[in-house]
Amino acid sequence: MKQFKIFLFIFFITTQVSFSQVRVVRELDSNWKFQKGDLENAFQSNFKDSKWESVTVPHDWAIYGPFDKEIDKQSVAIVQNGEKTASEKTGRTGSLPHIGTAWYRNKFTISASEKGKKVILLFEGAMSEPQIYLNGKKVGEWAYGYSYFYFDITDFISAGENTLAVKLTNKEFASRWYPGAGLYRKVSLIIKNKESIDQWGTSITTPFISKEVAKVNVKTKATGENGYLVTTIFDANGQKLSSDKATTKFGNEFDQNIKVKNPKLWSPETPYLYKAVSQWFVGDELKDEVTSRFGIRDIKYEANKGFSLNGEVRKFKGVCLHHDLGPLGTAINVAALRRQLTILKDMGCNAIRSSHNMPSLEQLELCDEMGFMFLAESFDEWAKPKVKNGYNRFFEAYAEKDLVNLIHATRNHPSIVMWSSGNEVPDQWGEAGVKRAKWLQEIFHREDPTRPVTVGMDQVKATMESGFGALLDVPGLNYRVHLYEEAFKKFPQGFILGSETASTVSSRGIYKFPVVKEKNKQYPDFQSSSYDLEACSWSNVPDEDFVLQDDKPWVIGEFVWTGFDYLGEPTPYDEKWPSRSSYFGINDLAGLPKDRFYLYRSRWNTEKETLHILPHWNWEGREGQVTPVFVYTNYDSAELFVNGKSMGIQKKNNATPQNRYRLMWMDVKYEPGTLKVVAFDKDGKAVAEEEIHTAGKAYKIVLDADRKTIQADGKDLSYVTVSVVDEKGIPCPTATNQLQFKVKGKGVYRAACNGDATSLEQFHLPTMKLFSGKLVVLVQSLKEAGNIELTVSGKGLKTGTLNISSTK
């Protein structure tokens, strides 16, 4: 097994500010015109677009709906799910109108002095198959909607006004989930001198670390003769630490080694970031300047020992995330991303897998800052298709270009600890697939020799026989818990990664009886039970993964499918309408935690107490019927009381995986009133308690914001959880009232979401039903500071009002 010993680093260029007079980065976020349709001559400068819709970018044209069963209806057998016979599927890509062609147009001005400079046009994601035109001439095109790419448009630019046109095309049967549509990530102009540092041309690593010193290696590619490079390192407080001047290139790049004394290491617990300023001089004139943040850390993957960070063996407590942001669609938003990561941090999650796509740069920057390790994935398809119009069409022509851009754009983020070249690719079968896996892995090694490469494998038996799994740096198993032992014995690496685990399904606040462990269970309301005992035919409930993670030191961690629900893939109801989003999430589509959140938190968050009771206790009509009670807690035992009467003490044990990680009272009979649980420490001392109560009639609306102060930048968001309570203030967990939303002042209503996978209500309209007693309203700032007032009302309910402050 090749040992990966990686000391690092991070580098990312802040794209929203000017570094100095020698370089300007201008984000093209406003003044866009948008029109759906394959329009003739829309690329020409004199094309009339005054009647087009005005939008800001990032933008997802499809998220506004409406939901429509016919959009993604298809007859298909999902091979990844073990299906052999085709059947009609609906909601597979979210039933949102993402299919078709659309145009974006923007006009921007270049001054006479800027005309003589080098101008780069950077796209961080465009869905899909973008064709780029400037001033009526085609600049270039790309294929993959998740790839970052750029063009040198110096020869296309004119002094004065310039017209940029972008044509995007989303084909049907091109995705297995909701892909979004449009310029859903940032578009930027980079204006710099012709003698300058190359785009993504800086690489920062640390090949030596001790308590006393770290050696920071900075490799930089720059254009221009007779120049020299000065790189200066600053700590997190802006204090200058050290500097180096390089006058000689080694090959086509400068290679600097700079000392940092008493380095502070990056980790999920202490995500410390330094700053490097690279200045490129030609003669004695400053030609370019790039500011980079980086972190110092050491990672290793070793046989029979597993993964270690900064010398400490640890396991990935990770989740998989699709790229959509629920009611915002795929349009990237930093506030939405930060909220997701804040929720995951509280759960004790320490790692993210971008599934099954290249991550946004904003997501990586936040993971660097907040302390998440990252598995950066590239493709869901190689040469063999999963869907008719998927990446298979582009693989031969684009795979290497896409990987090079992924690696160069993101290689210096300290959060990234592993690459993935693919997920459940059909190429796992046969000799050709082995060759492709080797070719892709070698591209990663060539461009970044510091990190290992994995593939999420579901055809584990096939990869054992073909050599596919043996050649990978890190063998990743998607599910297949029954094959872990065999894979460990047959694969030579000496460890196994749970690259995708669980796929338990549940609906927040919905409970089904009798309470039994089942596969592919369906109900008339198209919901799944939140007792967390239901999975798919090919997947399992969380406890089975917990056993492997806790008992097998050679299992180096897991990435749970998924951290949040996402649009599309409504398994097990992908043959039922109106299901249009997933049930897999630990948190629902609105970002509200399901019960499963607390099961993972009880294992993963070792710093805080977890004591959570389920189900809710509003069961009119079930009086006297068996209604099991589960408790998710980090304590080993607890006593349950129903209206003051003890139901006995339960203690975690090894009788079954569920008994090992959950406290379960299976024979409780429902009677209205109070459920109370008292938890005990290992000495039998009562140390914590929790209560839930039967609620009366819904009386009042309650609003709770994740942040009551937001930035007046026209992008920031406050997520407001809306619930209803009875006259005593007890939450009403079964409420489904229709609510209306109004926003006044220096903000706007952006969207709402209730987490119901069957809801066809459009996110951007200011009304929605509660689901299991809750929903979330998104309030967005304007560019002017001031007070924002949100009012939520509903028939027969006392209105709720909340003030949010927007500041510069």
Domain annotation covers residue 527: no
- Total residue count of the chain as it appears in this document: 808
How many Cα atoms occupy the beta-carbon half-sphere of 322 within 13 Å? 30
pLDDT, tens only, 3-12:
554 444 433 3
- Residues 130-155 as b or e (16 or more Cβ within 10 Å = b): bbbbbbeeebbebbbbbbbbbbebee
Structural element, H or E, at residue 645:
strand 645-651
225-276 pLDDT, tens per residue?
889 999 999 999 999 999 999 999 998 999 999 999 999 999 999 999 999 9
Per-residue pLDDT reduced to its tens digit, 325-349: 999 999 999 999 999 999 999 999 9
- Segment 159-187 mean pLDDT: 97
679 with 711, same domain: the answer is no
**Which is more confident, 79 or 111?**
111
Give the separation between CA 179 and CA 700, rounded to whole angstroms: 38
Residue 714 and residue 681 share a domain: no
Same domain as 801, residue 757: yes
How is 262-322 classified by DSSP, letter by letter?
Answer: SPPBP-SS----EEEEEEEEETTEEEEEEEEEE-BEEEEEETTTEEEETTEE--EEEEEE-
Task: Render pLDDT for 373-390 as a digit per residue (tens, 0 to 9).
Answer: 999 999 999 999 999 999
Percent of the chain whose pLDDT exceeds 90: 94
Q: Is a pLDDT exceeding 70 seen at residue 167? A: yes
- Provide the pLDDT for residue 88: 84
Rounded average pLDDT over 684-710: 98
| Average predicted confidence (pLDDT) for the chain | 95
Q: For strand 555-561 and strand 611-614, is the pairing parallel, antiparallel, or unpaired?
A: unpaired
| 655-683 confidence digits (pLDDT tens) | 999 999 999 999 999 999 999 999 999 99
8 A C-beta contact, residue 31 and residue 163: no
CATH of the domain at 382: 3.20.20.80
pLDDT bucket at 363, cuts 50 / 70 / 90: very high
Query: Within a domain: residue 574?
Result: no
Question: Do 204 and 186 share a structural domain?
Answer: no
With respect to residue 76, please indicate whether it lies within any of the assigned structural domains. no
Q: Which is nearest to 557 in space by CA: 309, 355, 273? A: 309
Is residue 367 scored above 90 in pLDDT?
A: yes
Decide if 368 is inside a domain.
yes
pLDDT tens digits for range 88-101: 888 999 999 999 99
Closest C-alpha among 609, 478, 599, 558 to residue 317: 558
Domain endpoint, select from 263, 298, 333? 298
| Assigned token pair, 803 | 């003030």
| Contact between residue 214 and residue 258 where contact means Cβ atoms under 8 Å apart | no
- How would DSSP label each residue in 534-597? EE-TT---HHHHHHHHHH-TTEEEEEEE-SB--BS--TT-TTSTT--B-S--SB-TTS-B-HHH
For residues 111 and 28, membership in a common domain is answered with: yes
Q: What is the pLDDT of residues 588-636, one digit of tens each?
A: 999 999 999 999 999 999 999 999 999 999 999 999 999 999 999 999 9
CA–CA separation, 766 and 745 (whole Å): 16
DSSP state of 81: G
Domain that holds residue 629: 619-693
SS3 53: strand
Active-site residue, selected from the candidate residues 424, 544, 558, 639: 424
Radius of gyration of the chain (CA): 27
- Residue 592 Cα to chain centre, angstroms: 16
The answer, yes or no, to whether residue 85 has pLDDT greater than 90, is: no
User: Does one domain contain both 160 and 40?
Assistant: yes
DSSP string, 673-702: SEEEEEEE-TTS-EEEEEEEE---S--EEE
Tell me the C-alpha distance between 781 and 714, whole Å: 5
Q: What amino acid occupies position 799?
A: T
Residue 1, pLDDT score:
44
Is the pLDDT score of 538 beyond 60?
Answer: yes
Q: What are phi and psi of 279, to 5 degrees?
A: -120, 130
Burial 503-522, CB ≥16 within 10 A → b, else e: bbbbbbbbbbeebebeeebe
pLDDT > 70: percent of the chain: 97
Q: State yes or no: is 365 an active-site residue.
A: no
Whether 81 is in a domain gets the answer: no
Contact (CB, 8 A) for 127 and 182? yes
Residue 205's beta-bridge partner residues? Answer: 217
Q: What is the pLDDT of residue 234?
A: 98
Which of 627, 661, 693 terminates a domain? The answer is: 693
Beta partners for 276? Answer: 233, 292
Instruction: Give the CATH number, domain containing residue 629.
Output: 2.60.40.10
Encode 1-15 in three state secondary structure: CCCEEEEECCCCECC
Q: Which of 129, 253, 381, 500 is catalytic?
A: 500
* Residue 87 confidence class, pLDDT cut points 50, 70, 90: confident
Cβ proximity of 427 and 438 under 8 Å: no
Residue 51 shares a structural domain with residue 173: yes
Residue 268: asked if its preceding bond is cis (omega within 30°), the reply is: no
Q: pLDDT tens-digit profile of 39-49?
A: 999 999 999 99
Indicate whether 715 belongs to any domain. Answer: yes
Token pair for residue 221? Answer: 């590619």
Least confident of 2-11, 16-25, 147-156: 2-11
Residue 18: band (very low, low, confident or very high) from pLDDT cuts 50, 70, 90: very low
Tracing tokens 């095309």 back to the chain, one arrives at 169
Residue 685 burial (CB count, 10 A): 8
CA distance 268 to 367: 9
- pTM (two decimals): 0.96
Does residue 274 sit in the same domain as residue 398?
no
Is the distance from CB of 621 to CB of 627 less than 8 angstroms? no
Helix (H), strand (E) at residue 441? helix 431-447
- Count of domains forming the chain: 5
Q: What gap in Å lies between CA 748 and CA 764, rounded to an integer? A: 11
pLDDT at position 738 over 70? yes
Of residues 478, 430, 431, 428, the one with CA closest to residue 456: 478
477 with 393, same domain: the answer is: yes
Query: Could you confirm whether 285 is annotated as catalytic?
Result: no
User: Going along 324-393, which residue ranges are E strands?
Assistant: 351-354, 373-377
Q: Which residues contact 177 (CB under 8 A, 6 or more apart)?
A: 92, 93, 94, 322, 324, 566, 567, 568, 569
Got the DSSP string for 512-542? -SS---EES---TTS---TTS-EE-TT---H
Question: Does 53 reside within a domain?
Answer: yes
Regarding whether 632 and 600 lie in a shared domain, the answer is no
Query: Under DSSP, is residue 387 helix (H, G, I), strand (E, B) or coil?
Result: coil
Q: What is the pLDDT of residue 5?
A: 45
Is residue 19's pLDDT more than 90? Answer: no
Tokens 């593939």 found at: 455
Cα(645)–Cα(626) distance, rounded to whole angstroms? 16
Q: Is the pLDDT of residue 436 over 80?
A: yes
Among candidate residues 78, 76, 73, 88, the one with its CA nearest the CA of residue 538 = 78
Q: Is the pLDDT of residue 464 over 60?
A: yes
Q: Does any domain span residue 272?
A: yes
Residues 350 and 268: beta-carbon distance below 8 Å: yes
- For residue 313, the model assigns a pLDDT of 97
| β-strands 453-457, 416-423 pairing | parallel
- Angle subtended by helix axes 361-370 and 395-410, to nearest 10: 40
Q: What distance in Å separates the CA atoms of residue 561 and residue 664, rounded to the nearest whole number? A: 24
Q: How many CB atoms lie within 10 A of CB 620?
A: 9
User: Domain holding 37: CATH number?
Assistant: 2.60.120.260
Structure confidence at residue 13 as a pLDDT band (50, 70, 90): very low
Does one domain contain both 188 and 210?
no
- Per-residue pLDDT tens digits for 770-783: 999 999 999 999 99
Q: What is the DSSP letter of 85?
A: S
Same-domain check for residues 408 and 553: yes
**What distance in Å separates the CA atoms of residue 93 and residue 95, rounded to the nearest whole number?**
6
Last residue of a domain, one of 604, 630, 660: 604
Cα-to-chain-centroid distance, residue 376: 10
User: Is the per-residue pLDDT at 70 higher than 80?
Assistant: yes
Q: What is the largest CA-CA distance in the chain?
A: 88
What do you get for the CA distance between the two ends of the chain, in Å? 53
